[in-house]
Amino acid sequence: MTAETNADVTTVYEVKGMTCGHCEGAVTKELSALPGVASVQAVAATGRVTVTSAAPLDEEAVRAAVDEAGYELAGTAA
């Protein structure tokens, strides 16, 4: 299985401030509301959020969604 199926784009972001399942849920809810997002997997233990979308997402839109959830987008993971 590959990360890209049906022209989907998978991006891993680093998010500061997530500490528990509630945090994961809040970030997942906000990012899932962005247009074109197919799936979101947030992991508080690593601070990483994996987003699969139909096309590359605008980083400012991702930053705004993470901010709305109460956390800070550090950027994309290396």
Note whether residue 72 is domain-resident: yes
Residue 2 has pLDDT above 50, yes or no: no
| 1 belongs to a structural domain | no
Q: Is 24 among the domain residues?
A: yes
Q: How far apart are CA 18 and CA 7, in angstroms?
A: 30
- Express as a percent the part of the chain with pLDDT over 70: 91
For residue range 68-78, list pLDDT tens digits in order. Answer: 999 999 999 87
Count of structural domains, the chain: 1
If one counts every other C-beta atom within 10 angstroms of the C-beta of residue 70, the result is 12
CB contact at 8 A, 38 and 8: yes
52 domain-assigned: yes
Q: In whole angstroms, what is the distance from residue 21 CA to residue 16 CA? A: 14
Residue 54, domain extent: 9-76
Task: Tell me if 3 is assigned to some domain.
Answer: no
Residue whose structure tokens are 């991702």: 62
- Domain of residue 37, CATH code: 3.30.70.100
